[in-house]
Structure 1
Amino acid sequence: MDYGLKHNRNRTIYTNEKKIADAKAREMLAAYLPSIGINSSLDNNLKVQQTVIPGGIFGPNDIRVAFTKKINTNHTARIDQTVYDQSLLIGLKANSYNAQQATLNERQSEETIIYNIGNAYAQVFVYREQLHLLGENLQAYQQQQGINALKVKKGVLLQKDLDRISVDYNNTFAQLKVAESNLILCENQLKFEMGYPLDQPLALDSISAEKLFVQVSQHPVESGHLSLDNRIDFQLSKINAKLLEIDQKRIKATAMPKLTAYAQYGAIGFGDHPGSAFSTLTPYSSVGLKLSIPFFDFFKRSAQYNQAKYKSLNAQEEVKINEDKFKIEYLNAHTKVIREQSNLENNRRNIGLAQAVFNTTDLQLRKGTTNITEWLNAQNALKESQNNYLNSLYAYFQARMEIEKAAGSLKTFYNDL
C-alpha cells in the first residue's frame, strides 16, 4: 500500500487536478485585478475619405476637405480596473470550494488505491494459502499411492482402490495447477494496483494465515454511529451542491450594473509616408468610468438561471439521498463483516476438526483397522473444509475492506497496519 500510494499513476492525475483547481482560482481572481494592454496600429488610407463643409460657412459653395492623410498611426497603452461586478464577486466564493474539491479528490484517490491493493493482496494471499493446502493434500495422496501400490502387488488390495486414490490425486494436481495460474494473474493485478512494473518479479513476504488473521483482528470493527463527514464522497456531494448554488447566484447577479475604471495614454501621427507618420506623433491621454447595464438579455439569463436553479435543487436532493444510502451501506457492511468473521472462525475450527479426523483415519488405515473408502471420505471432508475456509478467509478480508470504505476510515486502517 505504501508503494502504491507513491507510484500508482492515478495519484499523479489527481495531483494535477489539484494544480488545475489552484490555477482556476487564480484565473477567477485575475478577473478582478487590473488589466493592461498596449495596442499599435498603422493604417494606409488608399483613398482618403473627404468630408463636405456646407456652403455659407467659408464661402458660397460646398468645400470638400480631408481631415486625415494617407498614412496614420495610433499607439495606446490602457489599464482597465473592474470597480464593481457582483457576478465576479460571487464567483470568487467558489475558489475555496474548488480547492476543497481537488483536495478531497486526491484523498479519495488514496483511499481507492488502498482499497484496491487490499483486495488484490487478499486474493494473492488466499491463493498462496490454497497452494500450501493443496501441496499437503498431494503429499498425503502420494504416500497412500506408494503404500497401496505394494498392497496391490501383494494381492491384499484391489486395483480399483488404488485407482480411486490416483483419481483424487490427479484432480488435486489439476487444482494445484489452476491455483498456480490464478496466483500469477492475481500478482499481476496487484502489480497494476501498486503501479509496480509488470515485467519485474514482485517479492512478497511469506506470512501464515494465523499471523495475518491475528494482525487484522488486533484492529476490531467498531460498532456505533456512522459519521458521514468521514465519507469523502459525501463531502464531495455537499461541495458540489454548494458550487451549483453559487453558480445560480452568479447568473442572477449578471443582471446588475457593472462599473469599470480605465486610464489610457497614447499618441497619434499622420503623414504621406510611414516615416512621417511616426515622426509627427501627437500624444493624448484620458481617464474615465464605464457603466454597463444589461437590458435586453432577460430571456437568455432567465433560462440559464432556471437551469442552474434546478441543478442546485437536484444536488441538494442528492445529498439527502446519499445520506441514507451511505448509512445503509455502513449498516450492511457492518452486518456482513460480523457474519464473515463468525464464518471464518467456525471454518478455522472446522478445518482443525477435519484434520484431526483425517489423521485418526490415516493412522487406522496404517494399522489395518479401517478401509480405503473411509480414508478417502476423511480426505474429501478435509478438502471441503479447506475450501470453505479459503472462501471465508477471502470473504472476511473483502468484508473488512468494505466496512472500512463504508465508514470512511480506509486511511486510518492503513496507518494502523
Structure 2
Amino acid sequence: MKKIFILLSGFFFFNAIQAQQNFTLEQATQFALVNHTNMKLAQADVQDAEGQLLEYRSTGMPTLNGSVRYEYNPDIAVFILPDFIGPAVDGKLLDYNLIDENQIPPLSNAGFPAQFGTANNFVASLDLNALLFDGSFFVGLKAQRLYREMVANDVQVTAQDVKLNVKKAFLAILITERNNEILDRNLVNLDKTLSETKAIYENGFAEKLDVDRLQLSFNNLKVQKDKVERLLEVNYNLLKFHMGYPIQDPISIEGNLDDLMTDLDIEAVIPTDFSVQSRPEYASLELGEELARINIRRFQVGYLPSLYGFGRYAKQLQRNDLFDNTENPWFTASTVGLNLSVPIFDGFSKKAKIQRARVTLEQTLIQKKTFEQSVKLEVVNARTQFLNAREGVENTKESLDLAENIYETTQIKYREGVGSSVEVSQAEREFYTAQSNYTNALYDLLIAKTDLDKALGKL
C-alpha cells in the first residue's frame, strides 16, 4: 500500500504541472503514472479487488432481515369435520338410561362445516442468521486479502513498464532533436562553402563539377533534414501516447543528451551484487505462491463441520375486524437455534479440487524459478550491452574528433588551392557519418542504461 501511496502522490505532482506543455523526463514520467490508461486500469483492478474482499467478508457477517406480511381473507376456507358430537351425546344419554339402543340414530357420513382463521392476518418478524464457524470462510478471507495485495503489487509492474516506455520515447526525441541540430549546422556550413565555391567558380578558379558536388550534398542534407523533422513529429506522438497525453495537443520537452550523460555515473550503474527480489514481478510471483498454498488449505478445511446460528422474533395479529382492539391481542413467537452441517461424502469433489490446487502451486513454483533464471540472464545481457555501448561512445567520440579535424583540414587546403573537391566531399561524408555514429552511440548508451535499470529493478 505504501507503493500505491507513492504512485498516487504523483497525482498531486501532476496538478502542479498540468497547465504547462513543457516536460522534463521526470515530469513526463509522473504525468504518465497518473494519466496512462494502463495505470488507470491497474488502479481500477485494485479497487475491484478491494470490493471483492468486502463482498466476500460480508458473506461471513451476521444477517438481519425484517419482514411484514398482511393477509385479507374475504372468504375463509371451509373444512368438513366428522360428526363427533352426536355419538358422544347419545352415549351419555344411554349411560344414564335416558334412551335405549333402539333410539340411537344410525351414523351419518355427513360432517359439520367449520371455518378456521380470521379475515385479517398481520405478521411482523425479524430473522437473524450468523456464521459461528466455517473453516473455509476464514481461510478464504485470508486468500482474498492476499489477492488484494497481489493486485496492488501489479500496479508496480505496470508502473515499471510505463516508466520504461516513457523514458525510451523521451530519449528518442532527444536523439532526433540532436540529429536535427547537427543537420542545421551542417547545412549552414555547407551553404557557406557552396557560396564561396560559386564565387571562386565565377572568377574562373574552380570547376563547375566542384559546384555541382557541393550542391548535390546540400540537396541531400535538406532531404535528410525533412525526414528527421517528420520523424521528430512521430516520436513526439509516441511520447504523448506513452504519457497518456492528448495526441492533438502540443507538447515540448526539456533536456538534452549531454545533460543525461553528465548525470550518468558510469561506475555506479554496474553493481557488484543483485537480488531478484528488487523486481516487482518477483513479488507478484511470491504472492501467487502464497495464494496457491492458501487455496490448498481452503479446500482441506472444507472437510470440517460448519456451524450456523439462527433466530426469529415475530408479532402476529389475527382479527376479523383489524381495528377492533377488543377482539384479539398481539401474539408473540420467537425461535433460536443452531445448525451444524457435517460433510460426509461429496463424490470426491474436494479431493479433486485439492489435487488441482496442488498442480497450480507446482506451476507457480516453476514460473518463479523460470523468472529467477530469466532475470539473471537479463541482467548479464544488460550489463554486457551497457559495457559495449560505453565502449562505443568512447570509440565514436575519438572517430568524430578525427573526422572533424580531417574535414576542417581539407576545407582549408581546398580554399588555398592545394586540395581537391573530391577530398572535401569525401571528408564531408566521413564527418557526417562520424557525427551520426557518435549521436547514435550516446543514444545506445542511455538506452542500455535504461534496460539495465529495468533489469535491476531500479526504474
Shorter-normalised TM-score: what interval? Answer: 0.7 to 0.9
Tell me the residue number matched to 2:197: 148
Structure 2: distance between partners of 1:235 and 1:51:
73
Q: Which of 262, 265, 281 is residue 214 of structure 1 equivalent to?
A: 262
2:340 is paired with a residue whose SS is strand
1:266 equivalent in alignment to 2:266: no
Does the Cα contact within 8 Å between 1:362 and 1:375 map onto a contact in 2? Answer: yes
Tell me the residue number matched to 1:21: 49
What is the Cα deviation at residue 372 of structure 1? 0.5
| AA in 1 matched with 2:139 | I
Tell me the residue number matched to 1:232: 280
1:297 is paired with a residue whose SS is coil
What is the Cα deviation at residue 67 of structure 1? 5.0
Question: Aligned-residue CA RMSD in angstroms?
Answer: 2.9
Tell me the residue number matched to 2:235: 186
Identity %: 22
| AA in 1 matched with 2:425 | L
Does the Cα contact within 8 Å between 1:4 and 1:195 map onto a contact in 2? Answer: no
Structure 2: distance between partners of 1:345 and 1:201:
36
Of 35-44 and 173-182, more deviation after overlay is shown by 35-44
Q: Which of 411, 417, 442 is residue 393 of structure 1 equivalent to?
A: 442
Of 173-182 and 309-318, more deviation after overlay is shown by 309-318
Tell me the residue number matched to 1:405: 454
Structure 2: distance between partners of 1:406 and 1:48:
83
Does the Cα contact within 8 Å between 1:223 and 1:334 map onto a contact in 2? Answer: no
The change in CA–CA distance for 1:294 and 1:70 in structure 2 (over 3 A counts) is: farther
1:93 is paired with a residue whose SS is helix
| AA in 1 matched with 2:53 | A
What is the Cα deviation at residue 181 of structure 1? 1.1
1:254 equivalent in alignment to 2:333: no
Structure 1: distance between partners of 2:354 and 2:78:
50
- Tell me the matched-pair count: 409
Post-superposition Cα deviations, 1:40-88, rounded to whole Å, max 9, x if no partner, equal: 3345678866778778799777777665456544332122221110001
Structure 2: distance between partners of 1:45 and 1:251:
51
1:116 equivalent in alignment to 2:165: yes
Structure 1: distance between partners of 2:458 and 2:364:
25
Tell me the residue number matched to 1:12: 40
Q: Which of 136, 139, 150 is residue 188 of structure 2 equivalent to?
A: 139
Tell me the residue number matched to 1:241: 289
Structure 1: distance between partners of 2:113 and 2:369:
77
Does the Cα contact within 8 Å between 1:248 and 1:309 map onto a contact in 2? Answer: yes
Post-superposition Cα deviations, 1:267-302, rounded to whole Å, max 9, x if no partner, equal: 233455877899854221111111122345334434
Q: Which of 270, 273, 298 is residue 347 of structure 2 equivalent to?
A: 298
- Gaps of at least 5 residues in structure 1 are 411-417
Q: Which of 344, 349, 357 is residue 406 of structure 2 equivalent to?
A: 357
Structure 2: distance between partners of 1:348 and 1:152:
36
TM-score by length of 1: 0.87
Q: Which of 197, 216, 232 is residue 167 of structure 1 equivalent to?
A: 216
Of 229-238 and 73-82, more deviation after overlay is shown by 73-82
Structure 1: distance between partners of 2:312 and 2:412:
105
TM-score by length of 2: 0.80
The change in CA–CA distance for 1:221 and 1:4 in structure 2 (over 3 A counts) is: closer
1:81 is paired with a residue whose SS is strand
1:223 is paired with a residue whose SS is coil
Of 290-299 and 114-123, more deviation after overlay is shown by 290-299
What is the Cα deviation at residue 352 of structure 1? 1.7
Structure 1: distance between partners of 2:116 and 2:358:
55
Greater Rg by CA: 2
- Gaps of at least 5 residues in structure 2 are 1-25, 89-106
Of 274-283 and 83-92, more deviation after overlay is shown by 274-283
Structure 2: distance between partners of 1:368 and 1:279:
131
| AA in 2 matched with 1:321 | T
The change in CA–CA distance for 1:40 and 1:380 in structure 2 (over 3 A counts) is: same
What is the Cα deviation at residue 259 of structure 1? 0.1
The change in CA–CA distance for 1:319 and 1:69 in structure 2 (over 3 A counts) is: farther
Structure 1: distance between partners of 2:322 and 2:380:
82
Post-superposition Cα deviations, 1:147-196, rounded to whole Å, max 9, x if no partner, equal: 22223323333323322221221111111111111112212222332333
The change in CA–CA distance for 1:365 and 1:264 in structure 2 (over 3 A counts) is: same
Tell me the residue number matched to 1:415: none
| AA in 1 matched with 2:361 | S
